[in-house]
């Protein structure tokens, strides 16, 4: 193995590399949740869908030897779970937060149950696109090994940002999210729109799970997610229901998460528990810095149960 000594440069490099490696599940889950919440419904069960997606992607990839088929299977499982959430929430006086919690426990439990047999086998990994081919430094090349799902996630963020404002579907989605009555007056069935929005959100979250088990860290076990789905749902609020904001927040979160290991590897070894808290501390700091009593919920869909 060839190496070049890059000393302290490895810290910024690790942050960039970490942002690319770790952020993808956050991007997919938070974009999915943005679609759902823009339609006026919250699905906080995405953690369960993420874990179930990770398991179904891994299991399918092991059995079929095709990682992309695994990603597709994850997407289908996520859509099914989203449809379940959307269908239950259609009934009067059903609380979407409570259903979300139920779905989180259900998804996690089912994934552990069906995933038992797949902890040992190795699945084929998703291929990486090498964007660092121009460099001679192996560390840089490793950091710039980008997975196609990351690129798709980035493109999706741009597309959603545009589509929310400039397409008919985006308008319908936002109308439903801001006022059910206005939507009904336009002849739109809000429940139907929310059902589809929740299904789309579930599908994306499960694909994020597929990235976890099939690319990075690229293994299925029961602690694979460790709360990433929950954190991604929080990132949606943090980025104020804005797709590009979700993308940026996910990058920030991934990069800050790489800080702890990177600092230890160059010999800054004291207080690593503190560095491990960096992503959360940073999120809190930005929340405080950007908050103001006047526009606390600017950008929040009005029909969301947390704003109603």
Partner 1 sequence: MTRRMIFDRRHLLQGAAAGLAASALGARPAAAATVTIGFIYVGPKDDYGYNQAHAEGAAAVKKLRGVTVIEEEKVPETIDVVKTMESMINLEGASLLFPTSFGYFNPFVLQAASKYPQTEFRHCGGLWTDKNPKNAGSYFGYIGSCQYLNGVVAGHMTKTKKLGFVAAKPIPQVLLNINSFLLGARSVDPDITCRVIFTGEWSLAVKEAEAANALLDQGVDVVTCHVDSPKVVVQTAAARGAYVCGYHADQRPLAPERYLTGAEWNWATVYKTYVEKFLAGQPLPNFTRGGLAEGFVKTSPLGAMAPDAARRQFEAKKAEMTKGGYAIVAGPLKDNKGALVVPAGKKYLETAVELESMNYLVEGVIGAIS
Q: Give whichever of 27 and 262 is closer to partner 1, judged by the CB atom.
A: 262
Between 116 and 165, name the residue whose CB sits nearer to partner 1: 116
| Lookup result for tokens 């997919």 | 28
83 is written with which tokens? 């449809």
Cβ 223 to partner 1, closest distance in Å? 4
Asked if residue 294 binds partner 1 (CB under 8 A), the reply is: no
What are the CA-CA distances from residue 246 to residues 31, 94, 239, 255, 286 (Å)? Answer: 7, 28, 5, 14, 14
Piece in contact with partner 1 (CB under 8 A), picked from 71-79, 114-122, 158-166, 295-303 = 114-122
Neighbours of 72 (CB within 10 A): 17
Among 92, 187, 267, 293, binds partner 1 (CB under 8 A): 267
What six digits make up the tokens of 73?
């299977």
Q: Which of 16, 110, 266, 286 binds partner 1 (CB under 8 A)?
A: 266
Pattern 130-149, partner 1, x by CB under 8 A: ---------x--xx------
Alpha-helical (H) ranges within the chain are 10-38, 46-64, 67-89, 96-115, 138-143, 148-166, 168-178, 180-185, 190-214, 228-238, 243-265, 272-276, 278-290
Distance in angstroms (rounded) separating the CA atoms of residues 281 and 274: 9
Give the nearest distance from C-beta 18 to partner 1 in angstroms: 6
Under the criterion CB under 8 A, does residue 273 sit at the interface with partner 1? yes
Alpha carbons 23 and 19: distance in angstroms, whole number: 5
CA dihedral 129, 134, 137, 142 (to 10 degrees): -10
Does position 216 interact with partner 1 (CB under 8 A)? The reply is yes
Q: Which of 51, 262, 300, 304 binds partner 1 (CB under 8 A)?
A: 262
Which range touches partner 1 (CB under 8 A), out of 39-47, 85-93, 119-127, 281-289? 119-127
Binding residues for partner 1, per CB under 8 A?
Answer: 1, 3-6, 10, 13-14, 17-18, 21-22, 112, 116, 119-120, 122, 139, 142-143, 212, 216-219, 221-224, 226, 228, 257-258, 260-262, 264-267, 269-273, 276
């Amino acid at each position: 193995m060839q190496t070049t000594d890059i000393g302290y440069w490895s810290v910024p490099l690790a942050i960039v590399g970490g942002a690319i490696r770790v952020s993808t599940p956050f991007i997919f889950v938070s974009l999915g949740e943005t679609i759902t919440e823009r339609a006026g419904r919250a699905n906080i069960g995405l953690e369960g869908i993420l874990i179930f997606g990770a398991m179904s992607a891994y299991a399918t990839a092991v059995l079929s030897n095709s990682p992309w088929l695994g990603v597709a299977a994850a997407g289908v499982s996520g859509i099914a779970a989203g449809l379940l959430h959307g269908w239950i929430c259609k009934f009067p006086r059903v609380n979407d937060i409570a259903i979300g919690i139920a779905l989180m426990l259900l998804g996690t439990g089912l994934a552990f149950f069906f995933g038992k047999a797949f902890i040992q086998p190795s699945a084929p990994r998703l291929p990486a696109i090498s964007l660092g081919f121009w460099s001679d430094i192996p560390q840089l090349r490793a950091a710039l090994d980008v997975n196609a799902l990351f690129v798709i996630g980035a493109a999706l963020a741009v597309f959603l940002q545009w589509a929310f404002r400039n397409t008919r579907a985006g308008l319908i989605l936002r109308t439903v999210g801001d006022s059910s009555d206005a939507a009904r007056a336009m002849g739109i069935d809000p429940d139907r729109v929310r059902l589809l929005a929740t299904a789309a959100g579930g599908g994306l979250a499960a694909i994020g799970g597929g990235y976890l088990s099939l690319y990075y860290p690229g293994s299925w076990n029961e602690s694979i997610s460790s709360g990433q789905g929950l954190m991604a749902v929080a990132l949606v609020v943090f980025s104020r229901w804005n797709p590009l904001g979700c993308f940026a927040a996910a990058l920030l979160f991934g990069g800050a998460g790489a800080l702890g290991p990177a600092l230890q590897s160059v010999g800054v070894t004291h207080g690593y528990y503190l560095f491990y808290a960096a992503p959360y501390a940073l999120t809190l700091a930005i929340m405080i810095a950007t908050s103001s009593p006047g526009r606390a919920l600017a950008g929040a869909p009005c029909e969301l149960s947390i704003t109603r």
